[in-house]
Structure formats: C-alpha cells, structure tokens
C-alpha cells in the first residue's frame, strides 16, 4: 500500500506545482510583455504580404511563385467597382447548369491563385462583397485574345479546362476568369467590343 500513497502524493505535488506555475504565468507583469511580443511578431509576419511559394507548383493556368504584375487599379470617378469578370464561350453550346459549374470552377480557381499572388487585392474584393460579372465571347480565339490583353496590363487570369465528362470534350477551355480589378461598366463593355 505504500506505493499507492507515494504515487498519489507525488501526483498531488505535481498538480500543486502546475497550479503555482500557471498562477505566476498570468500575472500582469508576465502577461502584458507576452502580449506585446505577440503583437510585434504578428506585425513582422504580416499576412497581407504575398506568400513565398516554391516554384513549379502548377495551379490552374499558371505557375505560382512567378513574378506577377500588380493589376492596374484606377480611381477616376465613383462609378468603378472591384469585380471579377467571368468570360463564357458561346460556341460550346453549354447548358445553364454546365455554365454555372464552369463559372464556379473559374471563380474558385482564380481565388486560390490570387490568394498567394495578390492577397491585398483579394481582401479588398472580399470587403466589396465579391461582385462578379459574367460576359460571353464567341470562340476560343476571342478568349485567348482577351486573356492576352488582360495579362498584358497585369490582371490575374485563370482558364478552366473541362474534364470532358458531360457536355464538352476533354480539355476544352470553357471559362476565363479575370481580376478582380477596379473597372467601370463602360470599360468592361469596351474590352468586349474590341
């Protein structure tokens, strides 16, 4: 029976030491410096900076870790809004449900990509309510031209390549996501008229 008493008295001593240590830890002279040090570390490791990724990880239509140009952001008058533009190909004759799912793929694809490359832009877009606009293009050539134009002015892009399980053949480029970027309605219309 002596071993049971020693074990229980030892555990009581350990519990008492733990309570004393915990009580000392939460004293203001220990807690406040810890809080300040935590704030400083948080400031130094600011999450709004682009994350460093290892090159070569393929996501969607581009390689993360490459040097992305910052998208042009214009503030001329109050009619501009931060939007994500989704461009749907008309020549594929997709049904409404297929278009909806392809737009969802495009939106989530570009979201995951700009999470690493344009984090501050992503935060602004989230604060605006994540507005999206869906427009159409005639065919693959027109979609490629729009993608090249968007990338030439520094806008992030993402192209959805279909798996080919339902309405379109495998590898078909169905939807192009551009942005988000501050644009006026007339700028969007001009981009598609060209």
pLDDT at 141: 95
- pLDDT of amino acid 42: 72
pLDDT digits (tens, 9 = 90+) for 4-36: 555 566 677 777 776 676 666 666 676 777 778
What pLDDT, on the 0 to 100 scale, is given for residue 8?
A: 60
Using CA atoms, how far residue 54 sits from 16, 65, 127, 147, 158, in Å, is 48, 6, 29, 25, 20
Residue 181's beta-bridge partner residues?
83
Instruction: Give yes or no for a contact between 99 and 88, defined as CB atoms under 8 angstroms apart.
Output: yes
> What pLDDT is stored for residue 118 in this prediction?
84
Give 58-67 pLDDT, tens digit per residue.
333 333 333 3
The verdict on 110 and 174 lying in the same domain is: yes
Identify whether residues 96 and 39 lie together within a single domain.
no
The CATH number that applies at residue 73 is 3.40.1490.10
pLDDT > 90 in the chain, percent: 31
Q: What is the 3-state secondary structure (H, E, C) of the chain?
A: CHHHHHHHHHHHHHHHHHHHHHHHHCCHHHHHHHHHHHHHHHHHCCCCCCCCCCCCCEECCEECCCCCCCCCCCCCCCCCEEEEEEEEECCCCCCHHHHHHHHHHHHHHHHHHHHHHCHHHHHHHHHCCCCEEEEEECCHHHHHHHHHHHHHCCCCEEEEECCCCCCCCCCCEEEEEEEEEEECHHHHHHHHHC
> What pLDDT is attached to residue 109?
94
Q: Check whether residue 86 and residue 150 sit in a common domain.
A: yes
Q: Is residue 94 part of a domain?
A: yes
Could you tell me if residue 52 is inside a domain? no
Instruction: For the chain, list residues with pLDDT below 50.
Output: 52-77, 193-194
User: Do 103 and 137 belong to one domain?
Assistant: yes
Radius of gyration of the chain (CA): 27
71, 38: one domain: no
152 and 89 part of one domain = yes
Residues 70 and 33 in one domain: no
pLDDT at 183: 67
Same domain, 31 and 119: no
23 and 79 share a domain?
no
Range(s) of the domain holding residue 103: 58-193
CA-based nearest residue to 156, from 107, 123, 191? 107
Flag whether 89 is in a domain: yes
State how many domains the chain has: 2
For residue 13, the model assigns a pLDDT of 74
**Residue 83 main-chain phi, psi, to 5 deg:** -135, 155
pTM beyond 0.75: no
Residue 170 lies in a domain: yes
């Amino acid at each position: 029976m002596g071993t049971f008493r020693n074990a229980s008295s030892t555990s009581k001593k350990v519990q008492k030491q733990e309570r004393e240590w915990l009580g000392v830890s939460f004293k203001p002279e220990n807690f406040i410096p810890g809080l300040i040090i935590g704030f400083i570390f948080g400031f130094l490791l600011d999450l709004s900076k682009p994350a460093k990724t290892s090159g070569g990880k393929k996501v969607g239509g581009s390689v993360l870790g490459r040097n992305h140009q910052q998208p042009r952001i214009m503030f001329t008058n109050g009619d501009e809004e931060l939007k994500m533009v989704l461009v749907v190909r008309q020549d594929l004759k997709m049904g409404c449900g297929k278009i909806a799912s392809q737009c969802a793929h495009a939106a989530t694809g570009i979201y995951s990509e700009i999470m690493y490359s344009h984090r501050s832009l992503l935060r602004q877009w989230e604060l605006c309510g994540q507005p999206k606009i869906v427009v159409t293009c005639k065919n693959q050539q027109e979609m490629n031209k729009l993608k090249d134009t968007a990338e030439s002015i520094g806008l992030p892009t993402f192209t959805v390549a279909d798996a080919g399980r339902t309405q379109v053949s495998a590898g078909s480029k169905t939807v192009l996501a551009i942005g988000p970027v501050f644009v006026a309605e007339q700028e969007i219309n001009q981009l598609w008229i060209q």
